[in-house]
Amino acid sequence: MFLEKFFSLKENGTNVRTELVAGITTFFTMVYIIIVNPALLGSIGIPFEQVFMATVIAAVTGTLIMGLFAKFPIAIAPGMGLNAYFASVVGAHGLSYQTVFGTVFVAGLLFLLISVTSLRQLIVEAIPNSLKYGITSGIGLFIAFIGLKNSGIVVPNEANFITLGDLHEPVTILSIFGLFFTLILMARNVKGAIFIGMIVTAVIGYFTGLLNFEKQILSMPPVPVFFDLDIAGVFTNGLYSVVFAFLLVTIFDTTGTLIGVTEQAGLTKNGKIPRVRQAFLGDAAATTVGAMFGTSPSTAYIESSTGVAAGGRTGLTAVVVAILFALSIFFSPLIAAIASLAAITAPVLIIVGCFMMEGLAKIDWKKFDEAFPAFAIILTMPLTSSISTGIAIGFITYPLMKLFSGYGKKVHPIIYIFGFIFMIQLVFFPAH
């Protein structure tokens, strides 16, 4: 069969059915972006329909490249945090969104240039194992926290910031049910347990009135048009730091997610990620194309780990996600309803967070100069709600710890360089 040979399904211990389920699982845990992104960017005056189509186009472009060329089960779409930063730049500097889209386009072109060279691959391979495992585990805690927060299991509290939520809330009750139902299926080794849990939770949500569908489930998609980019405004306004911020955050958001998901899926070989250059091209192309149609920078999605947990191991998972994104332009009312009920996706994020903690056992906790930078990443990611900030803290603390413990020469020079860059970025233009 063509799909089995092209994606090497047998060699990766998977099959078409498993990849299909994994793709569907990933899609439904990240599909919220095609609703949230247009709403967020629409708040600064960008037409909702324009951003909706741009979001889908960017997701399909990047995810297909990831699936067909890198052959990883990783999906790409406009990044949360990056879109918030985009909106804040428009508001804080009083710029037109056409000008800020120009910065995204320029950052995307630089991104493509870096991605076709060996620089990004060198960066990934230079990262020490303790930081890689710290990144994986930090992402796990981050997405588990998102699941807890979205479900209402934990809520903000003035005294200590976070506390247990109201367990009588209907959405919270349904989330807890979905969590334990899925855990039971997994304990019984039921294949596709995560996706089955999502479907059962959705059905219960529908019959209890928590999941509401509009009378119109299908709708014709808006016509996509090229956006009016103000590239000249990037230079006349001296927006170099904004371009650098977009570039830096996108690189390390994707790098962190790529490390985390490939490590979770067992796709790394001797600490290295195969076909890493092709993988990097996915988010670079999506960022550039997305800017042309009207959306903020794209990045690899941590929700891809839900598909890996469902058994996805090859690019076929990503291709399924891309196809579903393409079809979603006709089902926007239906998708909006599903994405709006946190109880469907929150249990998945919590469970996957557990899977991603496996790397903790591989960190040498007896070597403090190896352990603390990993600990700092794990601690920082969920508390700041930022993958890139967690990575930044790791890059800063690791070379410092090694330098003062007498092992500074063993640190790759690129780690020192980026540690310095990250200090500048965090102090002068944090992106989150």
DSSP label at residue 169: S
- What value does the CA radius of gyration of the chain take, rounded to a whole number of Å? 21
> Residue 183 has what pLDDT?
96
| DSSP per residue, 277-288 | HHHHHHHHHHHH
287 with 222: CB under 8 angstroms? no
> Residue 364 has what pLDDT?
92
Phi, psi for 10 (deg, rounded to 5)? -65, -40
> Residue 215 has what pLDDT?
61
> Residue 403 has what pLDDT?
93
DSSP label at residue 303: T
Q: Counting runs of H as helices and runs of E as strands, what totals does the chain give?
A: 20, 4
Burial class (CB in 10 A: 0-12, 13-18, 19+), 204: middle
Helix (H, G, I), strand (E, B) or coil at 321: helix
Distance (Å, whole) CA 426 – CA 432: 9
| Below-70 pLDDT ranges, the chain | 81, 91-93, 124, 214-215, 271, 336, 339, 429-432
Residues of the chain above pLDDT 70, percent: 96
Distance (Å, whole) CA 344 – CA 338: 8
* Stated pTM of the model: 0.75
> Residue 91 has what pLDDT?
64
Distance (Å, whole) CA 192 – CA 168: 29
Residue spans of the domains in the chain: they are: 2-144+224-336, 360-428
Q: What pLDDT, in 10s, does the model give residues 271-282?
A: 678 888 888 899
Distance (Å, whole) CA 396 – CA 403: 11
- Contacts of residue 256, defined as CB under 8 A and 6 or more positions apart, other chains included, come to 135, 139, 387, 388, 390, 391
What element of type H or E holds 157? Answer: strand 154-157
